[in-house]
Amino acid sequence: MCLAVPMRIEISLILTPEAREGDYVLIHTGFAISVLDEQEARETLALFAELEEASRELDRAEGREP
């Protein structure tokens, strides 16, 4: 399974020439593959944060605290 993560631009834009400095884009294998609006990017990042917290809670419940 592949995972693309929203980020602010700091990578190759060869596949997304419409992207501008400060835009959010999806990154996959070092390339921006699409441009996101800020709200969509923030919602996706919030979901990743929720998944991380749920994983930590599960680890604590199972006695595997980091």
pLDDT-based confidence at residue 50 (cuts at 50, 70, 90): very high
| Confidence class for position 1, pLDDT limits 50, 70, 90 | low
Q: Where are the domains of the chain?
A: 5-61
Q: Is the pTM of this model over 0.75?
A: no
- Expressed in angstroms, the distance from the first to the final Cα of the chain is 25
2-43 pLDDT, tens per residue? 778 887 778 788 999 999 888 999 888 888 899 999 999 999
Question: Is 63 a residue whose pLDDT tops 90?
Answer: no
Please give the full DSSP string across 1-66, using - where no structure is assigned.
Answer: ----EEEES-SB-TT-TT--TT-EEEEETTEEEEEE-HHHHHHHHHHHHHHHHHHHHHHHHTT---
Architecture of domain 5-61: Roll (2.30)
